[in-house]
């Protein structure tokens, strides 16, 4: 979902906040569809819909069956599903993506982007990562991958029809040419790429040719978008995709981050999806100003309601916003065992373990309040803010006591503990953006505690947020907050996530 829906005036960026990187977009009539990378999480590849490019609704996940998505337990975090490209051609939706550490490049199709999507079509002849699809006038399908190389592909059979050939790869000496997208626009073929690495040097560049295979002429204004070497509040800008509106206007979706705190700045929500207008001058795209607030597009907006803050687990199936680590076995995670409750049966003994039974949602706001009602009578479990197996904070309860833990790299420590009376308990975390007080101030504070019977929140431990940031932990993901079971069986009656005002 977007932030607060807007109807007039300025609109908020990012348009899809939180861990939603590598956006790829297509338009069919007046409808826009967008997908993102999902890395080690299941279900994979969230699918969004919008009528105005500003307000987005998640309509599903493309990879929602085990037959579509295999993520081995020994696969490290930040591997898995990389850089999908979504296109509509010949009446079908085509989704090409890399499963890093498992099945390599694969292709999925659907007639409805909300699903169901097909089982994966293997593409053994397609090398590398970040695959893209484009069709020329005679129906030839061109697949371009990071590097940057290109080949002809039969997308129905998965057979490659030519050997990969190197094409334009960005500025000489620039690192990591990736995220290619090939378009026919007017009289030219345009090759849009990211380069400079996905950190502060990230940027967007473009070249054009008279043929899909080149030779490509680089834009003299490259990079056409970057915030490197600036103090702009949006950084790491890159991995973009272009789309044309029904009125002929052009737009770019891209990833970026919002670093917080002092030097060097820590981003904790992951790479988010931003929107920026594009104009054309002398046959080249000119990217407008990318900011946290931008003028509304010149057409009526269609506000959509915020995702409900609370889930009472009354439905047979979980909402598509809920994700799990690598897999979600139905026998270990269900809303059908105890009516109106989410039941988790433990496998891994803590959030340190790759087979943790976990159900969470992306943290999408710099400040938020999270609560859940847990019944630990038959087990042990809790509420965790997760970046990966080596970087997470949690509050955990069993039938006798509640504890707060911190895992930072090789260190795992118990922060606080107190006894509990028998019965369900409300666990919570308040995440508060922390304005920089000095050069090394962290981005936020996380306070873990329990809600007393009178409604007061008793904080057991407060931890600094920089250690759950990409700048500390590395990798490509953002924070996910949710529920887990570490021993036996744990039941959760409800989960409540509420955005809070940020400083």
Q: What is the pLDDT of residue 303?
A: 82
Model confidence pLDDT, tens digit, residues 393-444:
999 999 999 999 999 999 999 999 999 988 899 999 999 998 888 878 899 9
Query: Distance from first CA to last CA of the chain, Å, rounded?
Result: 22
Model confidence pLDDT, tens digit, residues 245-300:
999 999 999 999 999 999 999 999 999 999 999 999 999 999 999 999 998 888 88
Model confidence pLDDT, tens digit, residues 432-481:
998 888 878 899 999 999 999 899 999 999 999 999 999 999 999 999 99
pLDDT at 306 over 90: no
Model confidence pLDDT, tens digit, residues 358-389:
999 999 999 999 999 999 999 999 999 999 99
**Separation in Å, CA 340 to CA 53, 312, 313, 337, 492:** 35, 6, 5, 9, 9
- Please give the residue that has the higher pLDDT: either 21 or 422: 21
CB burial of residue 287 (10 Å; 0-12, 13-18, 19+)? buried
Class of domain 310-499 as given by CATH? mainly beta
Confidence of residue 302 (pLDDT cuts 50, 70, 90): confident
Pairing mode of beta strands 480-499, 342-345: antiparallel
Q: What is the side-by-side order of every strand in the sheet holding 80-89? A: 80-89, 92-100, 104-110, 121-122
CATH architecture of 10-295: 5 Propeller (2.115)
CB burial of residue 114 (10 Å; 0-12, 13-18, 19+)? middle
Model confidence pLDDT, tens digit, residues 187-235:
999 999 999 999 999 999 999 999 999 999 999 999 999 999 999 999 9
Model confidence pLDDT, tens digit, residues 24-78:
999 999 999 999 999 999 999 999 999 999 999 999 999 999 999 999 999 999 9
pTM given for the model: 0.96
Q: Where are the domains of the chain?
A: 10-295, 310-499
Task: Tell me the catalytic residues.
Answer: 22, 178
74: left (phi over 0), alpha (psi -120 to 50) or beta: alpha
- pLDDT, mean of residues 5-23: 82
Q: What is the pLDDT of residue 9?
A: 67
pLDDT at 3 over 60: no
172's enclosing H/E stretch is none
Q: What is the mean pLDDT of the chain?
A: 95
Asked, colleague to colleague, whether 10-295 and 310-499 share their fold, the answer is no
């Amino acid at each position: 979902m977007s932030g607060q829906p807007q109807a007039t005036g300025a609109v908020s960026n990012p348009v899809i906040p939180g861990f939603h990187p590598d956006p790829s977009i297509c338009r069919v009539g007046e409808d826009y569809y967008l997908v993102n990378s999902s890395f080690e999480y299941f279900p994979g590849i969230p699918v969004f819909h919008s009528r105005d490019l500003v307000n987005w609704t998640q309509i599903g996940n493309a990879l929602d069956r085990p037959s579509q998505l295999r993520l081995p337990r020994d696969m490290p975090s930040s591997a898995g599903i990389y850089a999908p490209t979504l296109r509509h051609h010949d009446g079908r939706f085509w989704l090409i993506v890399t499963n890093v550490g498992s099945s390599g490049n694969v292709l999925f199709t659907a007639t409805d982007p909300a699903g169901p999507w097909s089982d994966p079509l293997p593409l053994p002849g397609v090398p590398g990562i970040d695959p893209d699809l484009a069709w020329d006038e005679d129906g030839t399908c061109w697949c371009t991958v990071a590097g940057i190389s290109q080949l002809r592909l039969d997308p129905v059979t998965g057979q490659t029809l030519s050997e990969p050939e190197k094409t334009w790869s960005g500025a000489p000496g620039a690192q990591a040419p990736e995220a290619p997208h090939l378009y026919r626009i007017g009289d030219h073929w345009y090759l849009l790429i990211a380069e400079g690495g996905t950190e502060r040097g990230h940027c967007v560049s473009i070249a054009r040719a008279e043929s899909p295979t080149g030779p490509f002429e680089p834009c003299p204004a490259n990079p056409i978008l970057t915030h490197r070497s600036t103090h702009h509040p949006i950084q790491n800008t890159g991995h973009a995709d272009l789309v044309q509106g029904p009125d002929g206007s052009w737009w770019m979706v891209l990833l970026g981050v919002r670093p917080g705190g002092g030097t060097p700045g820590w981003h904790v929500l992951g790479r988010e999806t931003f929107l920026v207008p594009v104009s054309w001058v002398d046959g080249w795209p000119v990217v407008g100003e990318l900011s946290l607030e931008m003028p509304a597009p010149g057409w009526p907006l269609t506000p959509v309601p915020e995702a409900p803050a609370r889930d009472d687990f009354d439905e047979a199936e979980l909402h598509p916003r809920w994700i799990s680590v690598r897999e979600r076995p139905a026998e270990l995670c269900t809303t059908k065992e105890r009516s109106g409750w989410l039941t988790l049966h433990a496998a891994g003994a803590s959030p340190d373990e790759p087979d943790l039974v976990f159900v969470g949602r992306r943290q999408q706001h710099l400040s938020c309040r999270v609560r859940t009602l847990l019944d630990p009578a038959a087990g042990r479990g809790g509420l965790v803010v997760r970046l990966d197996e080596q970087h997470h904070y949690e509050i955990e309860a069993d039938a006798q006591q509640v504890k707060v833990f911190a895992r930072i790299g090789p260190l795992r420590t118990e922060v606080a503990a107190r006894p509990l009376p028998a019965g369900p308990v409300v666990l919570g975390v308040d995440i508060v953006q922390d304005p920089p007080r000095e050069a090394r101030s962290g981005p936020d504070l996380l306070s873990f505690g329990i809600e007393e019977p009178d409604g007061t929140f008793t904080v057991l431990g407060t931890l600094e947020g920089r250690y759950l940031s990409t700048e500390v932990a590395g990798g490509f993901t953002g924070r996910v907050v949710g529920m887990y079971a570490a021993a036996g069986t744990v039941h959760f009656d409800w989960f409540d996530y509420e955005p809070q005002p940020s400083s």
